[in-house]
Amino acid sequence: MSLTIRGRAKARDQPSCNGFFCRMVCLPKCIFGGFSRVTGRRNQYQPSELQLQHPQLLQPPAVPEDWAFLVSFEQQYGTTHPFFYACSFMQALKIAEDEHKLMFMYLHSPEHPFTPSFCSRTLSSELVVQFLDANFVCWGAIADRGEGLQMAATLQPASFPFCAVIAPVAGNNMAVLQQMEGPIDPAELVEILQRTMEEQGSAFGTTVRGREEEHMRARIKEEERIKARAKEQEKLRADRQLREEQDAAYFVALQRDQEKENLRNARAQKSIEASNQTNYQNPGQMHREKQLGKPRQSSSVGEAQYKETTTHGKDTQILIRFPGGERREHNFSCIDKILSIYRYIDSLGLPGIANYRLISSFPRRLYSFDQMGMTLKDAGLHPRASLFVELL
């Protein structure tokens, strides 16, 4: 039995998800320190101009920890390999989470006898390179130094080369979905990775996407709240502007009505002053007849003549109630004045009706000397009204 088969057999002794190896591993605290973001596909160090002029000064440059694996790999096996992120483990795990992908981790043991064949035949295979670059975030480290040593102590591989499929989870943990130990050919590696993605990646991808969707929903909710607040403020501004426009229109209309009222009053006053000697109505019937220049007539004759001259084109019906209970109804024109009602009552020649004034019941309003020049329509008596004769 090969080491690869033994590795998968070892997985069956662990808790599983859908029949595949899956376990939660607590990450060592030491890997949460530095968070360098050195990302690149090739490791190229350019000597200085002084070193080019004096080759004897050339010395091997100090290799950063994030680049150590790539430098070692490319010096021995060339530049054809999956895109390994030259950064810390936590940085690569964060990239996988942001891209909604799983992480492919490779722990490189340069001195192990199976390492050369695995690197030259499997990791340098075009099939493996294309598959890993398309579906995974790849991260590699040397197993006996730095973060590689820490991950080897955490995962405790039984043999090398060692590969693992890791999913980011909440807290200080990571989920190991699959691990492969020992030599493995390209086709078998791609098959295992494909099966792991199909049966395990969806569940852990949902967790990653769930957090991303939660953040997205929160952003959408905040944007909607901002839009709702802006819409409410816009509505308040529109309502305030509408009220201001309505108030301005009301004041303009009120001013116009006041001007019209003042003009009507001025005209009525002038008319009354001009006809003061002829149209002034004393409380007694005889005085009104003299000022109007009309001879006193009997009740029947005067009323008949008044009706003959005031029948046509009348659109305002006035009911007049007398103190004795008698009622008379007569039609006037809406442009007739209050004076016309007094003239009609005087034309009746009713006994005891000499000094009087006209009053409306509801709303109670007095129609006396000051209102003589007002039309029936302006006085609110059109098209129908009821007036009381109140004796003085």
> Is residue 11 domain-resident?
no
> Is residue 15 domain-resident?
no
> Is residue 267 domain-resident?
no
How many helices and strands (H and E) does the chain possess? 13, 12
- Rounded to whole angstroms, what are the CA distances from 55 to 43, 44, 71, 297? 21, 18, 21, 147
- Residue 103 pLDDT > 50, yes or no? yes
Query: Could you say which DSSP state residue 120 is in?
Result: I
Residue 307: what pLDDT? 53
Contact present, 201 and 102 (Cβ < 8 Å): yes
Domain boundary among 207, 222, 251: 207
Q: Which bin fits 227, alpha (ψ -120 to 50), beta or left (φ > 0)?
A: alpha
Same domain, 202 and 318: no
Same domain, 84 and 203: yes
Contact present, 321 and 354 (Cβ < 8 Å): no
Which pLDDT tens digit goes with each residue over 355-388?
899 998 777 888 988 888 899 999 888 899 999 9
> Is residue 150 domain-resident?
yes
> Is residue 188 domain-resident?
yes
Query: Could you say which DSSP state residue 31 is in?
Result: G
Which pLDDT tens digit goes with each residue over 272-329?
777 654 444 444 555 554 444 444 444 444 555 555 455 556 889 999 999 888 899 9
Give the CATH number, domain containing residue 381: 3.10.20.90
Give the count of alpha carbons within 13 A of 383, CB side only: 3
> Is residue 223 domain-resident?
no
d(CA 172, CA 180): 23
Q: How many CB atoms lie within 10 A of CB 94?
A: 16
Give the count of alpha carbons within 13 A of 301, CB side only: 4
> Is residue 58 domain-resident?
no
Domain boundary among 190, 207, 224: 207
Task: Find the domain containing 101 and state its range.
Answer: 63-207
Least confident of 30-39, 121-130, 281-290: 30-39
d(CA 155, CA 23): 10
Token duo for residue 266:
């001025």
Give the CATH number, domain containing residue 193: 3.40.30.10
Give the count of alpha carbons within 13 A of 358, CB side only: 26
Q: From 312, 308, 331, select the one nearest 320 (Cα to Cα).
A: 331
Q: What is the pTM of this model?
A: 0.44
* Per-chain mean pLDDT for the chain: 77
State which amino acid sits at residue 314.
Answer: K
d(CA 289, CA 278): 9
> Is residue 123 domain-resident?
yes
> Rounded to a whole number, what is the distance in angstroms from the first to the last CA of the chain?
134
Domain boundary among 153, 187, 207: 207
Question: Structural domain tally of the chain?
Answer: 2
Same domain, 72 and 189: yes
